[in-house]
């Protein structure tokens, strides 16, 4: 691990630290160094301290200790002695390549006169901060930042009551986000309680995991309080904003920290305020104008709402304003045109309305203007082309309209990131089509810009990382010059949803060696599948007219997460090597092609990440591969409409995550045995065994284990769809672009006898279809336990006996189909309780007696009941005789007690629900069509917005 994990990131911080250093240097009066001479025991202590480390010169440029030679240690670099006493009072060994641990025996702690100790940016090999630090009670300045200390911060630190500056910043691994230091026991409050003289307190990336203690509001000397990424929670004490000397406050990246901005009654010296990635909420107070020293204000990804106050325009020193990803509404106040020092303005991902104000063109210092994901409308003002310092302009995902000349941006020399997509813009290529620009972009989102051809200027682009040309009207072939465009840098290429017909002279393997996302879906592409480079993560060629076979080279893609080739004319045998290929593959969709042969032995590799496999609508044969039982992450298996010949895959029951099992229309056969284990299929929500050759009894014993179908899950806020999710980040030299990848599971199921395809499935949806088999025996009462069921289809089997009255417990049920069986007895009155039932079919059975009347039953017509000669009452024309209009006392039940109980429930239900309730429920049911449950949504990846992080 490198010595300087966080070096680059916090440019600002480094600057500030320099300032602090200068301040501290004055504080302990370094100027007097040369005059004094060194105490022997201190010289020895320093040498021993130095010798307890390896000096790793490979890891840093220069070490101060290498010049520690002369006898007067007061002359050594990094040492400061008191002018009168000659005692060592300052030790600054920052960035000195020290490697090794420190413990309480260290001679460092014999330097009892120390006032300044700076060991920042060394590597103390994950040792703890020694408790002996408490002996250095004269310290006013302690800096242990970026130094690979590990574990709990000792209580003894609280002994350093003279501290004016404490810095434990960035003992932290940026890649894994592991925090090395903890301040839990003793906690934050205990350790800092007595350090009331602190002016600078920097604990960013220390695992504090507590509330922010109120007592900090008494630390009136504080100028700098940095608590970024400390896992703070609770309500931030708003009095801290009123600390009279506070200049720099950063509590960002504490996702559970709440708070609001208070009213500011007097001017404040606050210069930098960072609240990014917290739960701060409420509106920005008008009195924010009092913070007239503010230069940097970042509150990205919080819960702020309300309009942007016009008073913000009085903060004329602002250089960076980032309020992205909040719920701000209203328009961009014109007062902001006074913020002429702004270099970065970011309101992205809010609900800002109105046009883009033309005066933005006056803020000529801007290097970044990010307004994407808002509700802006109107044209893109020509004045934006005056922003000659712009590097990034993102106005995609608004309602902007009109014609826009792409070449208006070509004068902005440093503009490398341009997002225009998902508006209503008509992009006019002008010069951009004449290939005359030397302008180089990294990021171009020209999605849905009504383009009709590949813009010719792309031919000269050699640094593109992210190119989105999706949802345009580009027809014809992908031109051959595209294969030479940005071959090293391109990580995302999307041309989805166009009218492309082919590839002009496509090379054997796509030329982009770092390509991560390749999306050519929804076109009219003919020809074989382009073969991606091994770096590919998401490959989507669905919904086109591709032919040929899948090359075995796809088995070598070790990063491949999702492979979607559905709805093409591909054929041949699925390469068997996919079975032992990379463990990264999570989504494999080969739906609706012409593949034949057998399904590969997927997950032969135990570490498999496979979450969804859909090979439905092909001509696959043989058995389900037994290796699927290794796919411990598997959530969905969809193999419908093939020619598989196998018995019921009870061996899949042990897959803990399995939610969908769809075997519809194959040659599955035989009886379904009783489950063997306790937790078989406990997460299953959608089971479709219809149109096979299953025999024997219904798999009622499994009902004991189908827990997911028993408990009604509230869908809380918003809709959650079943999907495989990950994120993709491109990390080439220039940018860091990020895209969430979400592959939603799709299904085709029979709804009212019609095969209906759904592009997304809400995770509360539960469904059982066992129709069109040869199941016999009775319908078990146990089905009444599946309370979360939305649809139950047992039609076209050989079922006998009565309809269990327990089905009246399925309060979420919307569709019940028991038609074409040999069911007898009355239709239980309890079914009237099913307030959401909108589709009901018991036709072609031997049911008898009166049809229940009222509630949902008033909605169903003849077709629900036809073919039962002994049924009577509305909506059938056959009237019930006197003996039949009374409740079903003579029903053939084994147990007279249950007859009584049923009868009683019937009366009670009738009494309570009555007509009014019944009507209300019927009304509700109209809104709850199956579409409510499994919405059709387009596969558009809303989240695909590259952004620099």
Ligand X SMILES: *[C@@H]1O[C@H](CO)[C@@H](O)[C@H](O)[C@H]1NC(C)=O
CB 330 within 8 A of CB 310: no
What part of residues 190-219 is at the interface with ligand X (CB under 6 A)?
190, 193-194, 214-215, 217-218
Question: What minimum distance in Å lies between the beta carbon of 30 and ligand X?
Answer: 24
Q: Could you tell me how far CA 227 lies from the centroid of its own chain? A: 25
Q: What is the DSSP code string of 692-740?
A: SEEEEE--GGGGGT-GGGTSPPP--SS--B-EEEEEEEE--SS--EEEE
Question: What minimum distance in Å lies between the beta carbon of 113 and ligand X?
Answer: 12
Interface stretch with ligand X, choices 132-140, 276-284, 459-467, 878-886 (CB under 6 A): 132-140
> Considering beta carbons, is residue 176 or 438 the nearer one to ligand X?
176
Q: How far apart are CA 313 and CA 334, in angstroms?
A: 8
* Residue 29 makes contact with ligand X by CB under 6 A: no
CB closest to ligand X, residue no? 134
Chosen residue from 85, 105, 411, 863 binding ligand X by CB under 6 A: 105
Closest CA to 864 of 795, 920, 925: 795
Interface stretch with ligand X, choices 156-164, 312-320, 445-453, 892-900 (CB under 6 A): 156-164
> Considering beta carbons, is residue 110 or 583 the nearer one to ligand X?
110
Chosen residue from 37, 48, 103, 424 binding ligand X by CB under 6 A: 103
The Cα-based distances of 409 to 384, 386, 413, 727 in angstroms read 8, 9, 9, 30
* Residue 221 makes contact with ligand X by CB under 6 A: no
Instruction: Please state whether the peptide bond connecting residue 875 to the residue before it is cis, i.e. omega within 30 degrees of 0.
Output: yes
Q: How far apart are CA 936 and CA 812, in angstroms?
A: 20
> Considering beta carbons, is residue 160 or 315 the nearer one to ligand X?
160
CB 385 within 8 A of CB 411: yes
Question: What is the CB-side half-sphere exposure of residue 474 using CA atoms within 13 A?
Answer: 30
Q: How far apart are CA 511 and CA 488, in angstroms?
A: 8
Q: How far apart are CA 52 and CA 46, in angstroms?
A: 10
What part of residues 164-193 is at the interface with ligand X (CB under 6 A)?
190, 193
* Residue 158 makes contact with ligand X by CB under 6 A: yes
What part of residues 485-524 is at the interface with ligand X (CB under 6 A)?
none
Question: What minimum distance in Å lies between the beta carbon of 258 and ligand X?
Answer: 11
CB 665 within 8 A of CB 740: no
Site string for ligand X, 250-289 (x = CB under 6 A): -----xx---------------------------------
Residue with tokens 């940026």: 174
Question: What does the DSSP 8-state code read for residue 275?
Answer: -
Question: What minimum distance in Å lies between the beta carbon of 137 and ligand X?
Answer: 4
**Length of the chain in terms of residues written:** 949
Question: What does the DSSP 8-state code read for residue 670?
Answer: E
* Residue 135 makes contact with ligand X by CB under 6 A: yes
Chosen residue from 92, 156, 680, 688 binding ligand X by CB under 6 A: 156
Contacts of 921 (CB under 8 A, 6+ apart): 835, 836, 855, 856, 913
> Considering beta carbons, is residue 215 or 732 the nearer one to ligand X?
215
Interface stretch with ligand X, choices 152-160, 518-526, 587-595, 610-618 (CB under 6 A): 152-160
Q: How far apart are CA 607 and CA 775, in angstroms?
A: 38
Cβ count within 10 A of residue 31: 11
Chosen residue from 4, 32, 137, 329 binding ligand X by CB under 6 A: 137
Question: What minimum distance in Å lies between the beta carbon of 194 and ligand X?
Answer: 4
Backbone conformation region of residue 753, classed left if phi is above 0, alpha if psi is from -120 to 50, else beta: left
> Considering beta carbons, is residue 257 or 492 the nearer one to ligand X?
257
Site string for ligand X, 60-99 (x = CB under 6 A): ----------------------------------------
> Considering beta carbons, is residue 197 or 744 the nearer one to ligand X?
197
Q: How far apart are CA 312 and CA 289, in angstroms?
A: 6
Question: What minimum distance in Å lies between the beta carbon of 215 and ligand X?
Answer: 4
Q: How far apart are CA 502 and CA 479, in angstroms?
A: 9
Question: What minimum distance in Å lies between the beta carbon of 107 and ligand X?
Answer: 11
> Considering beta carbons, is residue 190 or 310 the nearer one to ligand X?
190
CB 711 within 8 A of CB 918: no
> Considering beta carbons, is residue 144 or 517 the nearer one to ligand X?
144
Question: What minimum distance in Å lies between the beta carbon of 101 and ligand X?
Answer: 8
Question: What minimum distance in Å lies between the beta carbon of 198 and ligand X?
Answer: 14
Question: What minimum distance in Å lies between the beta carbon of 641 and ligand X?
Answer: 41
- What angle is formed at CA 498 by the lines to CA 492 and CA 502, rounded to 5 degrees? 85
> Considering beta carbons, is residue 105 or 853 the nearer one to ligand X?
105
Question: What minimum distance in Å lies between the beta carbon of 157 and ligand X?
Answer: 9
Interface stretch with ligand X, choices 130-138, 294-302, 367-375, 484-492 (CB under 6 A): 130-138
Question: What minimum distance in Å lies between the beta carbon of 117 and ligand X?
Answer: 14
> Considering beta carbons, is residue 214 or 263 the nearer one to ligand X?
214
Question: What minimum distance in Å lies between the beta carbon of 298 and ligand X?
Answer: 19
Interface stretch with ligand X, choices 134-142, 503-511, 524-532, 668-676 (CB under 6 A): 134-142
> Considering beta carbons, is residue 137 or 433 the nearer one to ligand X?
137
Question: What minimum distance in Å lies between the beta carbon of 812 and ligand X?
Answer: 28
How many residues sit in the footprint of ligand X (CB under 6 A)?
18
Q: What is the DSSP code string of 2-59?
A: -S-TTTTTTHHHHHHHHHHHHHHHHHTTGGGGGG----HHHHHHHHHHHHTSEE-GGG
Chosen residue from 96, 115, 159, 726 binding ligand X by CB under 6 A: 159
Q: How far apart are CA 840 and CA 901, in angstroms?
A: 25
> Considering beta carbons, is residue 133 or 312 the nearer one to ligand X?
133
Chosen residue from 78, 134, 269, 597 binding ligand X by CB under 6 A: 134
> Considering beta carbons, is residue 239 or 674 the nearer one to ligand X?
239
Contacts of 602 (CB under 8 A, 6+ apart): 578, 579, 588, 608, 610, 613, 625, 627, 628, 631
Beta strands in 260-356 (DSSP E): 272-274, 279-282, 296-298, 303-307, 320-322, 327-330, 344-346, 351-352
Backbone angles phi, psi at 420, to 5 degrees: -120, -5
Closest CA to 801 of 849, 864, 845, 867: 845
Question: What minimum distance in Å lies between the beta carbon of 763 and ligand X?
Answer: 19
Question: What minimum distance in Å lies between the beta carbon of 212 and ligand X?
Answer: 11
Q: Which alpha helices (DSSP H) does 833-887 contain, by range?
A: 882-885
Q: What is the CA radius of gyration of the chain?
A: 35
> Considering beta carbons, is residue 110 or 190 the nearer one to ligand X?
190
* Residues paired with 81 in a beta bridge: 88
> Considering beta carbons, is residue 134 or 379 the nearer one to ligand X?
134
Q: How far apart are CA 69 and CA 71, in angstroms?
A: 7
Question: What minimum distance in Å lies between the beta carbon of 237 and ligand X?
Answer: 8
> Considering beta carbons, is residue 105 or 475 the nearer one to ligand X?
105
> Considering beta carbons, is residue 234 or 479 the nearer one to ligand X?
234
Question: What minimum distance in Å lies between the beta carbon of 161 and ligand X?
Answer: 7
Chosen residue from 231, 391, 407, 812 binding ligand X by CB under 6 A: 231
> Considering beta carbons, is residue 156 or 289 the nearer one to ligand X?
156
User: Where does this chain bind ligand X (CB under 6 A)?
Assistant: 103, 105, 134-135, 137, 156, 158-159, 190, 193-194, 214-215, 217-218, 231, 255-256
């Amino acid at each position: 691990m490198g010595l300087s994990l966080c070096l680059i990131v916090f440019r600002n911080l480094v600057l500030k630290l320099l300032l602090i250093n200068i301040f501290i240097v004055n504080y302990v009066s370094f100027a007097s160094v040369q005059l004094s001479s060194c105490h022997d025991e201190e010289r020895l202590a320093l040498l021993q301290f130095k010798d307890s480390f390896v000096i790793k010169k490979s890891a840093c440029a220069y070490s101060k200790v290498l010049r520690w030679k002369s006898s007067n240690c007061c002359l050594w670099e990094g040492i400061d002695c008191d002018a009168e006493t000659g005692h060592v009072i300052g030790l600054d060994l920052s960035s000195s390549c020290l490697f090794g641990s420190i413990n309480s025996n260290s001679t460092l702690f014999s330097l009892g006169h120390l006032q300044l100790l700076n060991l920042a940016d060394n590597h103390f090999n994950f040792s703890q901060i020694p408790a002996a630090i408490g002996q250095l009670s004269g310290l006013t300045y302690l800096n242990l930042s970026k130094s690979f200390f590990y574990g709990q911060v000792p209580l003894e630190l609280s002994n350093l009551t003279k501290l004016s500056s404490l810095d434990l910043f960035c003992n932290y691994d940026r890649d894994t986000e592991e925090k090395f230091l903890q301040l839990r026991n003793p906690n934050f409050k205990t350790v800092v309680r007595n350090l009331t003289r602190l002016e600078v307190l920097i604990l960013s990336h220390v695992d504090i995991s507590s509330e922010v203690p109120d007592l900090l509001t008494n630390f009136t000397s504080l100028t700098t309080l940095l608590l970024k990424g400390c896992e703070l929670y609770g309500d931030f004490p708003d009095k801290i904003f009123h600390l009279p000397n506070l200049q720099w406050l950063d509590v960002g990246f504490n996702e559970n920290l709440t708070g609001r901005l208070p009213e500011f009654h007097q001017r404040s010296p606050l210069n930098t305020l960072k609240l990014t990635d917290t739960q701060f909420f409420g509106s920005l107070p008008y009195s924010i104008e009092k913070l007239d020293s503010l230069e940097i204000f970042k509150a990205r990804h919080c819960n702020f709402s309300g309009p942007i106050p016009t008073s913000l325009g009085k903060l004329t020193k602002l250089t960076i304003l980032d309020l992205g990803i909040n719920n701000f509404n209203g328009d961009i106040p014109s007062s902001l045109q006074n913020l002429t020092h702004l270099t970065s303005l970011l309101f992205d991902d809010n609900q800002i309305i109105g046009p883009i104000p033309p005066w933005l063109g006056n803020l000529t210092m801007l290097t970044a203007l990010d307004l994407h994901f808002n509700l802006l409308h109107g044209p893109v003002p020509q004045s934006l082309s005056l922003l000659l310092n712009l590097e990034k302009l993102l106005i995609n995902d608004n309602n902007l309209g009109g014609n826009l000349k792409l070449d208006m941006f070509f004068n902005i020399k440093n503009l490398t990131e341009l997002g225009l997509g998902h508006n209503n813009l008509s992009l006019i290529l002008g010069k951009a089509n004449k290939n005359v620009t030397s302008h180089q972009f990294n990021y171009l989102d020209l999605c849905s810009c009504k383009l009709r051809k590949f813009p010719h200027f792309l031919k000269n682009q050699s640094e593109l990382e992210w190119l989105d040309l999706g949802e345009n009207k580009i027809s014809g072939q992908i031109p051959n010059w595209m294969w030479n465009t940005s071959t090293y840098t391109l990580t995302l290429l999307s041309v989805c949803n166009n009218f492309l017909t082919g590839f002009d002279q496509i090379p054997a393997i796509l030329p982009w060696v770092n390509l991560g996302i390749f999306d050519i879906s929804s076109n009219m592409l003919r020809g074989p599948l382009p073969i991606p480079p091994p770096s590919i993560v998401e490959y989507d060629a669905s919904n086109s007219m591709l032919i040929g076979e899948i090359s075995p080279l796809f088995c070598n893609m070790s990063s491949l997460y999702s492979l979607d080739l559905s709805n093409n004319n591909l054929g041949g045998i699925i390469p068997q090597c996919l079975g032992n290929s990379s463990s990264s593959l999570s989504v494999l969709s080969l739906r609706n092609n012409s593949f034949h042969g057998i399904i590969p032995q997927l997950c032969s590799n135990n570490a498999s990440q496979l979450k969804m496999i859909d090979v439905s609508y092909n001509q696959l044969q043989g058995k389900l591969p037994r290796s699927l039982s290794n796919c411990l992450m598997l959530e969905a298996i969809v193999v419908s409409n093939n020619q598989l010949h196998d018995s019921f895959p009870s061996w899949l029951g042990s897959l803990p995550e399995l939610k969908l099992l769809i075997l519809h229309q194959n040659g599955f056969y035989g009886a379904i045995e009783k489950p063997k284990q306790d937790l078989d299929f406990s997460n299953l929500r959608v089971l479709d065994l219809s149109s096979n050759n299953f025999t024997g009894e219904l798999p009622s014993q499994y009902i004991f284990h189908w827990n997911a179908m028993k408990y009604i899950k509230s869908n809380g806020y918003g809709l959650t769809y079943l999907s495989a999710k990950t994120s993709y980040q491109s990390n080439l030299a220039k940018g860091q672009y990020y895209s969430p990848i979400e592959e939603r599971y799709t299904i085709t199921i029979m709804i009212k006898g019609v095969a209906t395809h759904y592009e997304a499935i809400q995770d509360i949806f539960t469904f059982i279809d066992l129709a069109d088999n040869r199941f016999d025996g009775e319908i078990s009462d146990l089905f009444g336990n599946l309370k979360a069921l939305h649809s139950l289809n047992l039609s076209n089997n050989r079922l006998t006996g009565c309809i269990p009255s327990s089905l009246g417990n399925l309060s979420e049920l919307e569709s019940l189909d028991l038609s074409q069986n040999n069911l007898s007895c009355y239709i239980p009155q309890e079914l009237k309780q099913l307030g959401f039932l909108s589709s009901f079919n018991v036709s072609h059975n031997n049911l008898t007696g009166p049809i229940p009347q009222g509630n949902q039953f008033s909605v169903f017509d003849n077709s629900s009941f036809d073919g039962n000669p002994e049924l009577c009452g509305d909506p059938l024309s056959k009237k019930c005789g006197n003996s039949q209009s009374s409740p079903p006392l003579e029903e053939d039940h084994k147990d007279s007690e249950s007859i009584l109980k049923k009868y009683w429930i019937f009366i009670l239900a009738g009494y309570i629900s009555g007509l009014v309730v019944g009507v209300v429920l019927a009304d509700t049911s109209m809104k709850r069509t199956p579409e409510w449950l499994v919405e059709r949504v387009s596969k558009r990846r809303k989240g695909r917005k590259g952004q620099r992080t």
